[in-house]
Amino acid sequence: MKQIIIIIIILILTSGKVFSQIFVHDPVITQQNDQYYLFCTGLGITVWSSPDMKNWTEEGRVFDETPQWVSETLNDFAGHMWAPDIIYYNGQYYLYYSVSAFGKNNSCIGLATNKTLNPEDPDFKWIDHGKVIQSVPGRDEWNAIDPAIAFDDAGQPWMSFGSFWNGLKLVKLNDDLKSVTQPEEWYTIAKRQRSFESDVRDAGDAAIEAPFIFKKNGFYYLFVSFDYCCRGPESTYKIMVGRSKTIQGPYMDKAGKSLANGGGSLVLEGDENWYAIGHNAAYTFNGIDYLVCHGYDAHDNGRQKLIIKEMHWDSDYWPAVKDFK
């Protein structure tokens, strides 16, 4: 938690400057024309832009103030706006974001839209649509944070999301991407054995979060983060993957174990140079596949930095990261 606050302060102090290394948490990226836009955890959801995904300019934030519906819905909300996702659909950009009481499943996933990401465009304006889903302690055994949108072969939109508790979920959305379909259709796509009762800070081997589904090679690949972030040198975050022929799963790892039963094949983890690596997204930009995530730089006081690496695919069509070292 302390590291997230430090990152937010750094982002405020560095607004408008160009950097080759940026301090981010939970990054996602999209491309508009010749510019890339990155959204990440921060006060009001922090935004960066870049012409090349190497040199970044801080563009401010999506929300100058917390939307009124958040404080009205979450009675112990403390200002945390986390883990966004950004997609382009039907002529506009959809930004999903998480609001939550820290360490509880008292959480919501909200949605804002914009016709453009260029702040100089006269059509630039974020419109907030409020909550899409909500989790309530004592009612739900899942947590409404870490959203990511994916489409199946028929063009049907789905949202994957979740953290700890009873695993990561997938839910079918209406075509407007603003609400869950009726009747509701839910799946548990990844889960680790849970032995804790309520305090996720001591979840042990149950720690799993940040699902992201990426379609490639005739498969849906489900990337997830195992273990813990935000603990400085004690952080143990790592990126795992499974795949399925259908978006609903089951997602299986290289050994044939279901991610819904604790499975997952390692993609990337920390070493002596990084405390931990995780909360990733995956994209194809200009014909190249990329893995986007954050890591804790062991040589820079454990600051959470943006990592973007090209992905390639082995002979069995499993993802790997090129030249990480």
pLDDT in tens, 98-150: 999 877 889 999 999 999 999 999 999 999 999 999 999 889 989 999 999 99
* Cross-sheet strand order for the sheet of 56-61: 18-19, 56-61, 46-50, 35-40, 28-32
For the chain, domain boundaries:
2-321
The span from the CA of 215 to the CA of 240, in Å, is 16
Mean pLDDT calculated for residue range 78-100: 93
Residues annotated catalytic, as ranges: 26, 209
Sequence-separated (6 or more) residues with CB below 8 Å from residue 170: 158, 159, 160, 186, 187, 188, 189, 211, 247, 248, 249
44 labelled as ligand-binding? no
The pLDDT assigned to 8 comes to: 44
Q: Is 145 annotated as a binding residue?
A: yes
Q: Distance between CA 196 and CA 12 in Å, rounded?
A: 37
Q: Is the pLDDT of residue 55 over 90?
A: yes
pLDDT at 12 over 60: no
| Residue 200: pLDDT band with limits 50, 70, 90 | low
pTM score of the predicted model: 0.91
CA distance 130 to 289: 32
Q: Report the pLDDT value the prediction gives residue 102, as an integer from 0 to 100.
A: 77
Residue 165 annotated as part of some ligand binding site: yes
**Domain 2-321 -> CATH class:** mainly beta
Which pLDDT does position 195 carry in this prediction? 64
Q: Is 146 marked within a binding site?
A: yes
Q: Please tell me the distance from the alpha carbon of residue 211 to that of residue 71, in angstroms, as a whole number.
A: 26
103 is known to lie in a ligand binding site: yes
- State yes or no: pLDDT of 301 exceeds 70: yes
Cβ(240)–Cβ(221) below 8 Å? no
- Residue keyed to tokens 């813990």: 228
Do the annotations mark residue 288 as ligand-binding? no
Length of the chain: 325
Contact assessment for residue 27 and residue 40, using Cβ atoms and an 8 Å cutoff: yes
Q: What is the pLDDT of residues 18-49, one digit of tens each?
A: 656 899 999 999 999 999 999 999 889 999 99
Q: Which pLDDT band holds residue 293 (cuts at 50, 70, 90)?
A: very high
pLDDT number for residue 203: 55
